[in-house]
A and B are shown apart, each in its own frame.
Chain A
Amino acid sequence: MTLAPQGEEQFGPTKDAPLEWRAPSEDLVGPSAPSGHLPNFVGEGEHAKSRAMDLRLDGITHRYDGLPVLDGIDLLVRDGETVAIIGPSGCGKSTLLGIIGGLLKPTAGRVVTSGTPRADSLNPFTYIFQDFALLPWRTVAANVELALEHHPLPGSERRRRVRAALELTGLDDFAAALPRQLSGGMRQRVGIARALVVRPAVLLLDEPLSALDAQTRELLMEDLLAIWARERSTRLYVTHNLDEAARLADRVVVLSRRPGRVREIVSIDVPVGERGGSAALPVIAAVRDRLWALIRDEARVAEREVQHG
């Protein structure tokens, strides 16, 4: 593979200063303001005035039938940040996301928020699922509308929101299609539209691109970045794909193998909007190498554990 030459442009601290690997303890104090990381992330239009809502995990510990899965996870996620969570198989990444969204009760610890979510948020913590979780008997529009149906919204407002979400995700021409008529990438776009329609404060993405082929994944990464630049939210992104983490996240939380503990938090001081170009390749590659170095040995052990288990 050929990396782009170190260009004239500087991407964060790649040349003058090494990438900074912040220790978890420092991180709890809080990273620099996300706006500094994300020049693209401006919170345009009607959503710009939302108030900050930070998210804090205090000693999240979880066991399944006595088997420790997560052990004392502390993390502070600032409003508007994208935090990726990676780790070896079975390290409890998805469990952690389930706990953050209130779908699982932790054995110990708590998830707290400070500040208030934006006023128009109907579902502050909203998931995007790996397997899309679409209702196969509902059309694309009806799948998106499902998230609104139990809210006391006038029909016109509901339809307006659905239409806007479909437009934002490029699904306007597929409103009447059934999920089985769509490709994997389009199905996940429905999942994204359904999440956006409730105007989430915190988006919880559980391996959202894992079920897709490499090309579709690339396309959706671009689309996600474009959407995030328009729709303000905080994002927690669970993935096993190091490239996705390096491309999309402001910080990457690396968990150890089971029981998952925060091993290291890697901050990427290059604006996400600038990571798609070839000039950013050395930074992305350096981040990726760093992440792989952190999980490689444990991933191998975890793989054997899974096979033997």
Chain B
Amino acid sequence: MADRAEPAVVRDHAVVAVPRVAGGSRPVPFRGGGFQPQPRRLVPVAVFVAVIGLWQLASSRGWLPALFMPSPWQIVGAFGDMIDNGTLDKHVGASLMRIGLGWLLGTIAGLAIGLAMGIFSVARAAGLPVVSALFPIPKIALLPLFILWFGIGEPSKVATIGFGVFFPTVIAAYTACDSVPRNLIRMGQSFGLPAIDIVWKILVPGAMPGILAGFRITASIALILVVAAEMIGAQYGIGAFILSAGNLMQTDQLLAGVTMLSLLGLTVSFVLGVVERAVLRWR
């Protein structure tokens, strides 16, 4: 019978008999789900292994000429040799020293100017045109000028990195100050906090997420600039090593140097992640 009263469903806390309609009962189709990233722990590992495996396979079968594209295994071998004969220490040490010093100087100066621009209207009005004009210049273009000023040695490379780090840090710092809710500053004023307390207890901690996000950008800029600067004029350094390996057609060593850059970038990113977790525990 078409109008048999079943099945029963609970609706509004009362059992309601649903009349059976012609065509039978159908479940309501599910339409939700998706559009929400889910952790898939095995996928990245599988992709990584597959790419390296295919690359190794292509090299072993001779599909990739070793002179232009050595196999992963050859690169690992070259890497091992560099560690054994101390080449890696020498080049990585030189690069790290330049990155560390240049990044530190650029960051200290950038934070000082950026925070000043975030706090004082006069500093912002004075600094913004200069920052806007100089920020777009690819800083490596200034290396020849710095070589003229400071000589071919370390200072010109450190200055290039420092200059490259300085401008993004300035911008990150003052925009981070802008992003601190004004109501927190009004709160500080309403309790009569001195201006210095408002800066150190409200503005600077509130700007830290933006400043640390800027560090990630400047760390990668420093890595790019150190390689570029070392390729232009350096005896030691990862950039110099890669350039020299390329000139000698030692592609396994060239790619070992590139792998080193990748590892360096990952290490910097990991360290910044640790710093962020420590400083921004409250988020």
Give chain A's interface residues, CB within 8 Å of chain B: 101, 103, 123, 125-127, 129, 131, 133, 135-138, 146-147, 149-150, 178, 180, 194, 198
Q: Which one of A125, A129, A180, A194 contacts B183 once the chains associate, using CB atoms below 8 Å? A: A129
In the complex the two chains form, is B201's CB within 8 Å of A178's CB?
no
Segment at the interface with A among B27-35, B187-195, B213-221, B259-267 = B187-195
In the complex the two chains form, is B190's CB within 8 Å of A146's CB?
no
- Smallest CB separation, A141 vs chain B (Å): 14
C-alpha spacing A129/B125, complex, angstroms: 32
List, in ascending order, chain B residues with CB within 8 A of A135's CB: 184, 201-202, 205-206
Q: Number of contacting residues on B, CB 8 A?
A: 22
Q: Which one of B189, B197, B283 contacts A149 once the chains associate, using CB atoms below 8 Å? A: B197
C-alpha spacing A127/B280, complex, angstroms: 27
In the complex the two chains form, is A126's CB within 8 Å of B190's CB?
yes
Q: Which chain B residue lies CB-closest to A198?
A: B191
C-alpha spacing A129/B208, complex, angstroms: 24
- Smallest CB separation, B279 vs chain A (Å): 9
Q: Which one of A133, A180, A194, A198 contacts B282 once the chains associate, using CB atoms below 8 Å? A: A180
List, in ascending order, chain A residues with CB within 8 A of B183's CB: 129, 131, 133
Residue B277 lies at the interface, judged by CB distance under 8 Å to chain A? no
In the complex the two chains form, is A127's CB within 8 Å of B192's CB?
no
In the complex the two chains form, is A150's CB within 8 Å of B193's CB?
yes
In the complex the two chains form, is B194's CB within 8 Å of A103's CB?
no
16 contacts between A and B (CB under 8 A): A101-B190, A103-B190, A123-B190, A123-B191, A126-B190, A131-B183, A133-B181, A135-B184, A135-B206, A137-B205, A137-B208, A137-B281, A146-B191, A146-B201, A149-B201, A194-B191
C-alpha spacing A133/B188, complex, angstroms: 9
A103-B186, A133-B186, A149-B197 known; A123 and B202 CB under 8 Å?
A: no
Which B residues from 171 to 207 make CB contacts under 8 A with A? 181, 183-184, 186-194, 197, 201-202, 205-206
A137-B282, A150-B194, A150-B197 known; A129 and B187 CB under 8 Å?
A: yes
Beyond A129-B187, A135-B201, A137-B281, 8 extra complex contacts between A and B, CB < 8 Å: A125-B190, A131-B183, A133-B183, A133-B187, A137-B205, A137-B208, A149-B197, A150-B192
List, in ascending order, chain B residues with CB within 8 A of A123's CB: 190-192
List, in ascending order, chain B residues with CB within 8 A of A150's CB: 192-194, 197
List, in ascending order, chain A residues with CB within 8 A of B283's CB: 136, 180
Q: Which one of A127, A149, A198 contacts B187 once the chains associate, using CB atoms below 8 Å? A: A127
C-alpha spacing A150/B190, complex, angstroms: 13
Number of contacts between A and B (CB, 8 Å)? 51
Which B residues from 220 to 271 make CB contacts under 8 A with A? none
Q: Which chain B residue lies CB-closest to A181?
A: B282
C-alpha spacing A137/B281, complex, angstroms: 8
C-alpha spacing A150/B197, complex, angstroms: 8
- Smallest CB separation, B248 vs chain A (Å): 53
C-alpha spacing A63/B229, complex, angstroms: 57
C-alpha spacing A133/B184, complex, angstroms: 5
List, in ascending order, chain B residues with CB within 8 A of A136's CB: 282-283
C-alpha spacing A126/B282, complex, angstroms: 26
- Smallest CB separation, B199 vs chain A (Å): 13
Q: Which chain A residue lies CB-closest to B202?
A: A135
List, in ascending order, chain A residues with CB within 8 A of B202's CB: 135
In the complex the two chains form, is A126's CB within 8 Å of B187's CB?
no
C-alpha spacing A150/B201, complex, angstroms: 11
Interface centre among A127, A137, A146, A198 (most CB of B within 10 A): A137
C-alpha spacing A180/B283, complex, angstroms: 8
List, in ascending order, chain B residues with CB within 8 A of A129's CB: 183, 187
What are the interface flags for B81-125 relative to A under an 8 Å C-beta threshold, 1 for contact and 0 otherwise?
000000000000000000000000000000000000000000000
Interface centre among B187, B191, B280, B283 (most CB of A within 10 A): B191
In the complex the two chains form, is A103's CB within 8 Å of B189's CB?
yes
Interface centre among A125, A150, A180, A194 (most CB of B within 10 A): A150
C-alpha spacing A126/B187, complex, angstroms: 9
C-alpha spacing A94/B191, complex, angstroms: 17
The 6 closest A-B pairs by CB, nearest first: A133-B187, A137-B282, A127-B190, A147-B191, A137-B205, A133-B183
C-alpha spacing A123/B190, complex, angstroms: 8
- Smallest CB separation, B203 vs chain A (Å): 11
- Smallest CB separation, B195 vs chain A (Å): 11
C-alpha spacing A126/B190, complex, angstroms: 6
In the complex the two chains form, is B190's CB within 8 Å of A178's CB?
no
A133-B184, A133-B186, A180-B282 known; A126 and B191 CB under 8 Å?
A: yes
- Smallest CB separation, A80 vs chain B (Å): 21
List, in ascending order, chain A residues with CB within 8 A of B192's CB: 123, 150
Q: Which chain A residue lies CB-closest to B282?
A: A137
List, in ascending order, chain A residues with CB within 8 A of B186's CB: 103, 133
- Smallest CB separation, A115 vs chain B (Å): 20
List, in ascending order, chain A residues with CB within 8 A of B280's CB: 137
C-alpha spacing A133/B183, complex, angstroms: 6
List, in ascending order, chain B residues with CB within 8 A of A131's CB: 181, 183
List, in ascending order, chain B residues with CB within 8 A of A137's CB: 205-206, 208, 280-282
C-alpha spacing A135/B202, complex, angstroms: 7
List, in ascending order, chain A residues with CB within 8 A of B193's CB: 146, 150
